[in-house]
Amino acid sequence: MNQVHTARLGNPDALRAYDDLWQRTLGKVSGDLNRMIYLASTRDYNSGRYHHAGLEASFGYEAVKQALETAHQEIFWKLTRSSLEQLVLELEIYIRSSGESPEELLRTWRTLQPYRVAIPLEADAMAAQLLLSNLKLGLEVLQKRRSQPANHL
Protein backbone atom coordinates (compact mmCIF):
# COMPACT_ATOMS: atom_id res chain seq x y z
CA MET A 1 0.00 0.00 0.00
CA ASN A 2 1.67 3.22 -1.00
CA GLN A 3 1.19 6.72 0.40
CA VAL A 4 -0.96 7.86 -2.50
CA HIS A 5 -3.52 5.17 -1.74
CA THR A 6 -3.44 6.19 1.90
CA ALA A 7 -4.09 9.80 0.89
CA ARG A 8 -6.93 8.87 -1.42
CA LEU A 9 -8.57 6.46 0.97
CA GLY A 10 -9.91 8.51 3.84
CA ASN A 11 -10.20 6.00 6.67
CA PRO A 12 -8.64 2.73 7.87
CA ASP A 13 -11.75 0.75 6.92
CA ALA A 14 -11.49 2.01 3.36
CA LEU A 15 -7.83 0.96 3.27
CA ARG A 16 -8.71 -2.52 4.53
CA ALA A 17 -11.58 -2.76 2.05
CA TYR A 18 -9.20 -1.75 -0.74
CA ASP A 19 -6.68 -4.43 0.28
CA ASP A 20 -9.41 -7.02 0.56
CA LEU A 21 -10.75 -6.05 -2.87
CA TRP A 22 -7.34 -6.64 -4.40
CA GLN A 23 -6.57 -9.85 -2.53
CA ARG A 24 -9.89 -11.59 -3.04
CA THR A 25 -11.11 -10.18 -6.32
CA LEU A 26 -9.01 -7.91 -8.50
CA GLY A 27 -5.80 -9.87 -7.98
CA LYS A 28 -7.51 -12.92 -9.40
CA VAL A 29 -8.87 -11.14 -12.46
CA SER A 30 -6.53 -11.26 -15.46
CA GLY A 31 -5.83 -7.99 -17.20
CA ASP A 32 -6.55 -4.37 -16.29
CA LEU A 33 -9.31 -4.01 -18.86
CA ASN A 34 -11.08 -6.95 -17.21
CA ARG A 35 -10.61 -5.27 -13.84
CA MET A 36 -11.98 -1.97 -15.07
CA ILE A 37 -15.04 -3.66 -16.59
CA TYR A 38 -15.59 -5.56 -13.34
CA LEU A 39 -15.32 -2.39 -11.24
CA ALA A 40 -17.67 -0.52 -13.57
CA SER A 41 -20.16 -3.37 -13.17
CA THR A 42 -20.27 -2.73 -9.41
CA ARG A 43 -21.54 0.78 -10.13
CA ASP A 44 -25.25 1.51 -10.45
CA TYR A 45 -26.06 2.82 -13.96
CA ASN A 46 -28.54 5.37 -12.67
CA SER A 47 -27.05 6.67 -9.45
CA GLY A 48 -23.38 6.08 -10.25
CA ARG A 49 -22.94 4.60 -6.74
CA TYR A 50 -20.69 1.61 -6.20
CA HIS A 51 -22.06 -1.46 -4.40
CA HIS A 52 -20.42 -4.67 -3.28
CA ALA A 53 -22.60 -6.64 -0.87
CA GLY A 54 -19.83 -8.92 0.42
CA LEU A 55 -17.39 -6.12 1.17
CA GLU A 56 -20.10 -3.86 2.59
CA ALA A 57 -21.00 -6.53 5.14
CA SER A 58 -17.44 -6.40 6.47
CA PHE A 59 -16.39 -2.79 6.02
CA GLY A 60 -19.52 -0.69 5.63
CA TYR A 61 -20.92 1.17 2.63
CA GLU A 62 -18.78 4.31 2.75
CA ALA A 63 -15.45 2.48 3.08
CA VAL A 64 -16.30 0.11 0.26
CA LYS A 65 -17.46 2.96 -1.96
CA GLN A 66 -14.10 4.69 -1.45
CA ALA A 67 -12.17 1.48 -2.12
CA LEU A 68 -14.06 0.67 -5.33
CA GLU A 69 -13.87 4.25 -6.56
CA THR A 70 -10.12 4.44 -5.93
CA ALA A 71 -9.39 1.11 -7.59
CA HIS A 72 -11.54 2.11 -10.58
CA GLN A 73 -9.72 5.42 -10.98
CA GLU A 74 -6.29 3.82 -10.67
CA ILE A 75 -6.96 1.15 -13.26
CA PHE A 76 -8.50 3.71 -15.58
CA TRP A 77 -5.33 5.84 -15.37
CA LYS A 78 -3.10 2.83 -15.89
CA LEU A 79 -5.01 1.89 -19.05
CA THR A 80 -4.99 5.49 -20.25
CA ARG A 81 -1.20 5.49 -19.99
CA SER A 82 -0.90 2.19 -21.87
CA SER A 83 0.42 2.12 -25.39
CA LEU A 84 -1.86 1.00 -28.19
CA GLU A 85 0.00 -2.29 -28.41
CA GLN A 86 -0.51 -2.96 -24.69
CA LEU A 87 -4.18 -2.08 -25.01
CA VAL A 88 -4.59 -4.56 -27.86
CA LEU A 89 -3.09 -7.22 -25.56
CA GLU A 90 -5.55 -6.19 -22.84
CA LEU A 91 -8.40 -6.57 -25.32
CA GLU A 92 -7.14 -10.03 -26.31
CA ILE A 93 -7.03 -11.08 -22.64
CA TYR A 94 -10.54 -9.74 -22.14
CA ILE A 95 -11.89 -11.57 -25.20
CA ARG A 96 -10.25 -14.85 -24.13
CA SER A 97 -11.59 -14.65 -20.60
CA SER A 98 -15.11 -13.59 -21.61
CA GLY A 99 -15.97 -17.06 -22.93
CA GLU A 100 -17.83 -15.45 -25.82
CA SER A 101 -17.08 -16.01 -29.46
CA PRO A 102 -14.41 -13.46 -30.47
CA GLU A 103 -16.32 -12.60 -33.66
CA GLU A 104 -19.50 -11.85 -31.77
CA LEU A 105 -17.76 -9.92 -29.03
CA LEU A 106 -15.84 -7.83 -31.55
CA ARG A 107 -19.00 -7.12 -33.51
CA THR A 108 -20.90 -6.09 -30.37
CA TRP A 109 -18.08 -3.97 -29.00
CA ARG A 110 -17.44 -2.24 -32.30
CA THR A 111 -21.15 -1.53 -32.80
CA LEU A 112 -22.49 -0.73 -29.34
CA GLN A 113 -19.23 0.45 -27.75
CA PRO A 114 -20.26 -0.86 -24.30
CA TYR A 115 -16.80 -0.02 -22.97
CA ARG A 116 -17.94 3.61 -22.81
CA VAL A 117 -19.84 2.92 -19.61
CA ALA A 118 -16.71 1.50 -17.98
CA ILE A 119 -15.13 4.95 -17.57
CA PRO A 120 -15.11 6.27 -13.97
CA LEU A 121 -17.60 9.02 -13.29
CA GLU A 122 -14.93 11.49 -12.17
CA ALA A 123 -12.52 10.72 -15.00
CA ASP A 124 -10.96 13.65 -16.81
CA ALA A 125 -12.81 14.18 -20.11
CA MET A 126 -9.69 14.26 -22.29
CA ALA A 127 -8.14 11.22 -20.65
CA ALA A 128 -11.43 9.38 -21.18
CA GLN A 129 -11.42 10.44 -24.83
CA LEU A 130 -7.88 9.12 -25.23
CA LEU A 131 -8.74 5.73 -23.74
CA LEU A 132 -11.98 5.40 -25.72
CA SER A 133 -10.17 6.31 -28.92
CA ASN A 134 -7.42 3.76 -28.21
CA LEU A 135 -9.99 1.06 -27.42
CA LYS A 136 -11.75 1.81 -30.70
CA LEU A 137 -8.44 1.52 -32.57
CA GLY A 138 -7.53 -1.63 -30.67
CA LEU A 139 -10.80 -3.28 -31.68
CA GLU A 140 -10.18 -2.35 -35.29
CA VAL A 141 -6.69 -3.86 -35.10
CA LEU A 142 -8.13 -7.13 -33.75
CA GLN A 143 -10.88 -7.14 -36.36
CA LYS A 144 -8.33 -6.61 -39.10
CA ARG A 145 -6.14 -9.42 -37.71
CA ARG A 146 -9.09 -11.80 -37.67
CA SER A 147 -9.95 -10.99 -41.26
CA GLN A 148 -6.30 -11.26 -42.41
CA PRO A 149 -4.75 -13.79 -40.01
CA ALA A 150 -1.88 -14.72 -42.35
CA ASN A 151 -0.12 -11.41 -41.73
CA HIS A 152 0.38 -12.18 -38.05
CA LEU A 153 1.40 -15.82 -38.08
By the criterion CB under 8 A, which residues form the site for another protein? 2, 4-5, 7-8, 22, 32, 74-75, 77-78, 80-81, 83-85, 124-127, 129-130, 133, 136-137, 140-141, 144-145, 148, 151
Q: Are 66 and 122 in contact (CB under 8 A)?
A: no
Handedness of CA 59, 65, 66, 68 (dihedral sign): positive
- CA 20 and chain centroid, separation: 17
8/51 with CB nearer another protein: 8
27/99 with CB nearer another protein: 27
Minimum distance from CB of 99 to another protein (Å)? 25
Cite the beta strand spans of the chain per DSSP E: none
Minimum distance from CB of 147 to another protein (Å)? 10
d(CA 77, CA 20): 21
Minimum distance from CB of 114 to another protein (Å)? 19
